[in-house]
């Protein structure tokens, strides 16, 4: 009698990973506004609802930013899933933002 093997995992929707990010900006300074707009566009296109974003104004919370190891803004930090990574600047270079978030240009969400 053939022994029954382990049951293969049930097929279902793939587990979606939520990307947790923190964007440090300086009030409404030009690069900060651009960074927010660029990041929102990337999130809309590549992540849809699969992300959590916290925006921190370093003018309001400078000590918090310093304790997080932030020296300049705008600064996008990906916190999870690991490994943690960061992108500095106005996030106009989509490829480097995607690379930091562990995504590829083809991962567009319809």
Partner 1 sequence: MTPESLPAARSAPDLQAEAAFKEWVRRIVKGVAELKALEAGQIDAVLDPATGSAILLPEAQAALRRSARSALGARDVTRNVSGPILTGALPGSRRTKAGRIAAVARATTPNCLLAALPAKEYERLLDGLEPVRLTYGEVLNEPGEQIRYAYFPCDCLVSLLTVVEGRRALEVGLVGREGMVGSRLALGFAASSVRSLVQGTGTALRIESARFLREFHRGPELQRALLRFTDALMLQVTQNAACNRFHVVEARLARWLLMTRERVSSLEFYLTHEFLADMLGVRRVGVTVAASALQRRQLIHYRRGAIKILDLQGLEASACSCYQQVRLTGLTISVR
Q: Does the CA dihedral 33-37-39-40 come out positive or negative?
A: positive
- Told to check if 101 binds partner 1 by CB under 8 A, we report no
Q: Which helix (H) or strand (E) holds 95?
A: helix 94-101
79 binds partner 1 (CB under 8 A): no
Residue 86 is a binding residue for partner 1 (CB under 8 A): yes
Q: How far is the CB of 57 from partner 1 (least distance, A)?
A: 7
Candidates 19, 21, 23, 25; binder of partner 1 (CB under 8 A) is: 25
- Tell me the C-alpha distance between 75 and 29, whole Å: 13
Binding site for partner 1 (CB under 8 A): 25-32, 57-68, 70-74, 86-90, 92
């Amino acid at each position: 009698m053939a022994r029954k093997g382990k049951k293969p995992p049930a097929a279902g929707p793939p587990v979606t990973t939520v990307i947790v990010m923190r964007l440090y900006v300086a009030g409404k300074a030009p690069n900060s506004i651009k960074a927010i707009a660029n990041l929102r566009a990337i999130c809309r296109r590549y992540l849809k609802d699969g992300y959590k974003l916290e925006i921190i104004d370093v003018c309001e919370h400078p000590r918090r930013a310093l304790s997080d190891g932030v020296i300049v803004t705008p600064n996008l930090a990906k916190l999870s899933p690991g490994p943690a990574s960061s992108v500095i600047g106005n996030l106009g270079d989509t490829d480097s933002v995607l690379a930091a978030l562990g995504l590829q240009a083809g991962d567009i969400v319809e």
